[in-house]
Chain A
Amino acid sequence: DAGVTQSPTHLIKTRGQQVTLRCSPKSGHDTVSWYQQALGQGPQFIFQYYEEEERQRGNFPDRFSGHQFPNYSSELNVNALLLGDSALYLCASSARQGDGNTIYFGEGSWLTVV
């Protein structure tokens, strides 16, 4: 049973560039959430996708956008990168029907902005 998979695992970008991170949910899950975890802090909710629509959004600027595909996989896009966007980006999946409150995380994508 495949868990949540994310790619790439590490990447380095320059200020002002754009980045796309990818996530495949755990088998049987239809909901994908994205979190940003800065060094030494807890994960902060960016947004959640279900049925290919953004369902809820945290306190992040419009530079952060996402997409969910028919196969439930998802992308996180960040435009006009800032140094402060350097963080671990975590994807989490859950099943809307049933135990929708419990989310399962991937290993994350480490983004460094220089």
Chain B
Amino acid sequence: GNSVTQMEGPVTLSEEAFLTINCTYTATGYPSLFWYVQYPGEGLQLLLKATKADDKGSNKGFEATYRKETTSFHLEKGSVQVSDSAVYFCALSQTGGFKTIFGAGTRLFVKA
């Protein structure tokens, strides 16, 4: 079945450091891929998405590229801020708009 695996956290970085959170997936066909972010005590917010191979999703300085050959969708940011501290979830959804499958989440702490 479909699944998402992301790197375990927590990830602790200093402000202005480079961020990578790894995500790989297992799915048939060509799913859409997503990164969601969850701030403490809140619901999930869509951060970025990509719908086909080699697409790059980007938002708020975060980027992720849909790599079909490695079944990966790694999240990157060149310079993190304290306000980026949150839990990040990688997810996939098959064409047809049914359930979205989430990874276990990676908690990020950014120190000033």
Contact = CB atoms under 8 A, between A and B. Distances in A.
Interface stretch (A14-22, A69-77, A78-86, A93-101): A93-101
Contacts of A4: 43
Contacts of A90: 43-44
A68 interface: no
Contact of B100 (A41, A103, A106): A103
B35 to A, nearest CB: 12
A42 B97 contact: no
Interface residues of A, number: 27
19 contacts: A41-B104, A41-B105, A42-B103, A43-B89, A55-B98, A56-B98, A56-B99, A58-B99, A90-B44, A96-B97, A100-B96, A101-B32, A101-B94, A101-B95, A102-B32, A102-B34, A105-B44, A107-B43, A108-B42
B43 A45 contact: no
A96 B98 CA distance: 9
Interface of A: 4, 31, 33, 40-45, 48, 55-56, 58, 88, 90, 92, 94, 96, 100-108
List the 3 closest pairs (A to B, CB-CB), nearest first. Answer: A100-B97, A42-B102, A45-B99
Contact of A45 (B94, B101, B103): B101
A105 B35 CA distance: 13
B97 A101 contact: yes
B99 to A, nearest CB: 4
A106 B98 contact: no
B81 interface: no
Contacts of A56: 98-99
A84 B99 CA distance: 22
A10 B43 CA distance: 13
B46 interface: yes
A102 B104 contact: no
A101 B103 contact: no
